Structure 1
Amino acid sequence: MTRLTVSLLISALLLSGCGDSGWNPLRWGGGGNRPETLAPEGGYETVGDSRPGIPQIISARWEPLNEGRLLVATGIAPTKGYHHAELVTLRPQPQGRISPDPDGVLRLRFVALPPPPTDEAARLPANPAVDSITVALTLSNTQLAGVTQVEIAGASNAVTLQR
């Protein structure tokens, strides 16, 4: 019995080396339609975020976390009503992944949507003391491994933080 099992096992191993032929037992169950790449169908999204940059960045700072750092940026808009503020990568990247450029600089944009022109908030000037916009981005130690500095760009200015 063991001779039969060993001989069948050796035969299966030899046939599995047949590559893409029909003799390969690993392809008998319909496994012949393997994708050539792991990229999603249609490729990765290459269009960046279309929201405009926040008009003025006031400050940026690091806050320590157990497994990384929290990047906190504060900006001010000319009018009240800016919403959906976020820090996004300047270079489009897959969802949930953040990596620096080859030079070790993580380039981010501070973006927010302005209020619609017909909205009453669009006519009211913003008060810097109470109408500042604060956003945060959590970065793990793994994501920070290749980062030497972070550049956050708005519509009119940019802030640089060293790691």
Structure 2
Amino acid sequence: MRSGTLGILACAALVLAGCGRMGDSSWNPMRWFGSAPQTQTLEPEGGYPTTVNDGRVPLAHVTGARWEPLYEGRMLVVTGLAASKAWWDLALVTEVPMPKGRIRPDENGVLRLRLVGKPPQPDTFAAANPANPLADAATVALVIPNAVLPDLREVVISGASNSVSLRR
């Protein structure tokens, strides 16, 4: 029995010796979890972008903001008025760059947002005419999830010429 066990161990040692150095082998348990501990992060290389350069600029005026209750949190509804007619691709974006789909207030509990959009093409009827406050008001909404609400104290929405503050 012992000679059989010794024979099997000797064969295993010869097989492993033929594979190269034991330190380079995948059979080495010291290499199973990496050779050196490295900190892993989900942050993209070079960090998050500091500006979003997609052609959107702040709307001229933020005219109002209100909360609407939702099952999964609250919806922030913001109305604004652009400088001319036919603005499109309107959105509320955070002033501080954050990962897409994530929102969090700063250390003081203040969430700072900008009301932005894309202006109409230059040299068009829409670009040449000022917006009518009754017909051209724009409404944008942003859902604030329940997980963010305990830390949120105030929301500040800014446009090109003014800002509106809304307490929770």
Structure 1 residue 132: Cα displacement: 0.6
Partner of 1:45: 48
Task: Give the partner amino acid of 2:119.
Answer: P
Residue 140 of structure 2 aligns to a residue in which SS?
A: strand
Which of 72, 77, 95 aligns to 1:72? It is 77
Q: CA, structure 1 residues 101+24, in 2 after alignment: closer, same or farther (shift >3 Å)? A: farther
Q: Does residue 25 of the first structure (1) align with residue 29 of the second (2)?
A: yes
Normalised by the size of structure 1, how large is the TM-score?
A: 0.78
Change (3 A) 1:120 1:68: same
Q: Secondary structure at the match of 2:148?
A: helix
Rg (Cα) greater in structure: 2
Task: Work out the CA distance in 1 between the residues paired with 2:166 and 2:72.
Answer: 19
| 2:90 and 2:116 in contact (8 A); partners too | yes
- 2:163 matched residue in structure 1: 158
Any residues of structure 2 matched to 1:53-68 within 5 Å, and which? 53-68=58-73
Report which stretch shifted further, 68-77 or 37-46.
37-46
Preserved CA contact (<8 Å) 2:59 2:83: no
Number of residue pairs matched by the alignment: 141
Moved over 6 A (4+): 21-24
Displacement of 1:79: 1.1
Given the alignment, which residue of 39, 43, 49 partners 1:36? 39
Shift of 1:154: 0.5
How far is 1:35 from its partner? 5.2
- Of residues 46-55 and 121-130 in structure 1, the stretch that sits farther from structure 2 once superposed is 46-55
The Cα offsets for residues 33-83 of structure 1, whole Å up to 9 and x where unpaired, read as 775222344143222234211100110000000120000000011211111
Distance 1:124 1:103, change over 3 A: same
Query: What TM-score does the superposition give when structure 2 sets the normalisation length?
Result: 0.75
Whether 1:120 and 2:125 are equivalent positions in the alignment is: yes
How far apart are the structure 1 equivalents of 2:69 and 2:133? 26
Residue type of the alignment partner of 1:38: T
| Deviation of the 1:117 alpha carbon | 1.0
Instruction: Report % sequence identity.
Output: 46
Distance in 2 separating the partners of 1:130 and 1:35: 57
